[in-house]
Structure 1
């Protein structure tokens, strides 16, 4: 049994080549995320746009959502080889636009194009896992893809930090272009030209995509102002539109999620909510490099690496947790919320504290704790999504994983931008405003993450069957 379900079965022979091809696209997307996170404080110093700091993440992720939703259609239409080629070409175009940016609006436009290509690169592997691997290998394949975020924590901050410290942040985007071209050539050589099984033609849920985009924009636009009323209106409009998306998902034949996902008593609903809450907690890392540079006088390189500890912890947790017995998996999922909340509370105390080895060590521990908590639960939540989806909705279930993750990332980043601007960061990046913003951001996100204890327990209690509608 070990020979067919262990790491050797996934990483050797034909499975090894497939794993390399699927993991490579996620690695590119993840490296870009941490590269830009590390660069952004330096970019703002050069071209301005502090009030729009979080927009680089929110609009990037909104475009990624569109790319991820289109992934199954692109895969069905073009096949794996050409689908990856298209994704890489769009991603390279976005890198070029970012490298040429003269102001924040230009940079955000380039990031949006990057996000579209990155969403395809990120989602295609999830859509293909069930097609190229046997079911016993799914958890390890999920963990391998998650491990690419760990590789990104080593490469992304290094590239971004070195270029930022030398005042050449534009060159970091140009470096991504030949790397992406190399991946594209490898993927086209390793992946099959066409799918091995016919794909059902599923309509694109265009209205839901538009509403999700407007949802994130409404919250982001509200965050520009320091007026509580203005922010409340933006948040209220965003939540109202999000509720409308939920109604459409229950009624429409064109869905982002598998049939019955949001029905009363659905196990999938609890699973998706748990995934979303885990990801929202992690979006606090968007501002970590800025906080570290302003409050603790860290270099861009070190600030980027400390922020990336959250993703490194995610990788460690996922690798440790994958392959566990059903009882071990249940314990890992139950432990996840404790570590996430504990990490956010530790950051709430340590980030605004006076600079010392103790406070910096506590910040590092906080980042790792949040990441490990997510990683412990993540592979098992994802595998349960695939297992509990209706049989004829398995492919949509695979694509829905990235849809939920990216929607939660966009909403979390937009909400984080709103919180820090209201707390005083938008008035300037001084230490007082940054300290206040850090307290509010980590404190509120720790409180929000308490809902994980409810959602995770609900997901584990539900039967495997998904109600039909």
Structure 2
């Protein structure tokens, strides 16, 4: 039937002998990134107590994220030149080395160096794993892969802090870091078994130096802006970083050694429109990621545990929705979900704004649920649609760019909305009402960022899933 997939995709097929090892490999690649973030954020305060360097604690997170983005940026080039297996093995070794360096660090600067290696390795792993999804799995199973990965993220969100807390208290913070070592070794073994030895003999040998320098400079400026105490300095740094990002895309279009898809961020085709959605949705949602737990504690007086649980509603709804919609065979329904998800994000952020204005915690939880449902319903089909819509020559560049752009969007959104919060008086707030006023401004801006994401998705959705799978 037109618009229907020819073969019904069932969850049990993911565990069949032909795909079980591949599913485990890709999910473990995601788990390394997801669990590492929660493990480190929980164990880091104990590390600071022992090593000192409290002023550097924010750099531990920022350096990891910056180098993860940089690793993702070069992933397509690594995969084309050396093949997915060699790239993943090398990335896992870098991640393992960084984990050992951080876990055995005698001083805070050494721990920061370990975080750099961890970030670069995990950025490569995440991006190459994304690129492998349409290569290993048939189109009918790709939504199931995204659903399985959503389950991994949900498990990490709940289990990561608990595991890290128990290990840190009963053994040491170093053990919480080092728990990643056996996981990365297992990942390397699975990669050796599952991922074939392939490389693109036509791959450009030239390194896109200008683009990489511009991206690296932009990321560093975003990191510094996020930590800057002055609103004026932060604003200037963010403007300069935006200039560098735009320059990287502009230079790439006329470069022989390209880093991005040829139509990246153009508004007339599916790839360009889709990348705008991938950028704007996480940017807008970063308002909740950064501020919600803090607001729940300071405006409603809830403790850290309950505040964290309410904040986790988004992750739960994302995972459950991704699992439910993963079996949708109708192309028309997939196109509907692609624009419905960003619309639900707009509604969710609007609900959080109203919750702050009217002091309604139930409305805040509703907003978190709508946000999670929005991402869960659209993200998998959006990513799959872009992978399949990309020309063959740009398939790797598109696939590896998706998780990298998502991480960059969270970093940019956190810095931008942090600037907005400070300009609105959040840093100087001395009462709940002053804090509430500042956060209302933040969520107005976040909603304004989400609206063009929805408009781009509205224009994009008719352009995807046009052909019936054979």
**TM-score, structure 1 normalization:** 0.83
Question: How far off its partner does 1:273 sit?
Answer: 0.4
1:108-187 superposed matches below 5 A: 108-162=112-166, 169-187=173-191
Mapped to 2, the partners of 1:130 and 1:23 lie a distance apart of 14
Q: Does 2:345 correspond to 1:344?
A: no
2:338 corresponds in structure 1 to: 333
Q: Secondary structure at the match of 2:18?
A: helix
1:253 corresponds in structure 2 to: 256
1:201 corresponds in structure 2 to: 203
Residue number among 224, 227, 239 corresponding to 1:224 in the alignment: 227
Mapped to 1, the partners of 2:364 and 2:45 lie a distance apart of 19
Question: How far off its partner does 1:103 sit?
Answer: 7.6
RMSD, aligned α-carbons: 3.6
Residue number among 259, 281, 284 corresponding to 2:284 in the alignment: 281
- Equivalent pair of 2:226/2:414 in contact (CA under 8 Å): no
How many residues are aligned here?
458
Question: How far off its partner does 1:304 sit?
Answer: 4.3
Question: How far off its partner does 1:440 sit?
Answer: 4.2
Say if 1:66 and 1:369 are closer, same or farther in 2 by CA, change over 3 A.
same
Question: How far off its partner does 1:139 sit?
Answer: 2.8
Q: Does 2:403 correspond to 1:399?
A: no
Q: Secondary structure at the match of 1:14?
A: coil
Deviates most, 291-300 or 145-154: 291-300
Question: How far off its partner does 1:204 sit?
Answer: 4.0
1:386 corresponds in structure 2 to: 387
Q: Secondary structure at the match of 2:260?
A: coil
1:320 corresponds in structure 2 to: 324
Question: How far off its partner does 1:119 sit?
Answer: 0.9
Mapped to 2, the partners of 1:144 and 1:191 lie a distance apart of 18
Mapped to 2, the partners of 1:323 and 1:386 lie a distance apart of 18
1:14 corresponds in structure 2 to: 18
Unmatched tracts of structure 2, length 5 or more: none
Unmatched tracts of structure 1, length 5 or more: none
1:34 corresponds in structure 2 to: 38
- Equivalent pair of 1:310/1:368 in contact (CA under 8 Å): yes
Say if 1:32 and 1:131 are closer, same or farther in 2 by CA, change over 3 A.
same
Q: Does 2:194 correspond to 1:191?
A: yes
Mapped to 2, the partners of 1:159 and 1:386 lie a distance apart of 35
- Equivalent pair of 1:259/1:390 in contact (CA under 8 Å): no
Question: How far off its partner does 1:163 sit?
Answer: 5.4
Mapped to 2, the partners of 1:453 and 1:286 lie a distance apart of 22
1:236 corresponds in structure 2 to: 239
Question: How far off its partner does 1:433 sit?
Answer: 7.9
Question: How far off its partner does 1:438 sit?
Answer: 4.2
Mapped to 2, the partners of 1:282 and 1:268 lie a distance apart of 22
Mapped to 2, the partners of 1:58 and 1:106 lie a distance apart of 15
Mapped to 2, the partners of 1:371 and 1:101 lie a distance apart of 37
Question: How far off its partner does 1:107 sit?
Answer: 5.0
Question: How far off its partner does 1:12 sit?
Answer: 1.1
Question: How far off its partner does 1:237 sit?
Answer: 0.8
1:431-446 superposed matches below 5 A: 438-446=439-447
**TM-score, structure 2 normalization:** 0.83
Question: How far off its partner does 1:52 sit?
Answer: 6.9
Q: Secondary structure at the match of 1:450?
A: helix
Mapped to 1, the partners of 2:334 and 2:263 lie a distance apart of 25
- Equivalent pair of 1:58/1:216 in contact (CA under 8 Å): no
Say if 1:289 and 1:200 are closer, same or farther in 2 by CA, change over 3 A.
farther
- Equivalent pair of 1:34/1:156 in contact (CA under 8 Å): yes
Mapped to 1, the partners of 2:298 and 2:309 lie a distance apart of 16
Deviates most, 111-120 or 69-78: 69-78
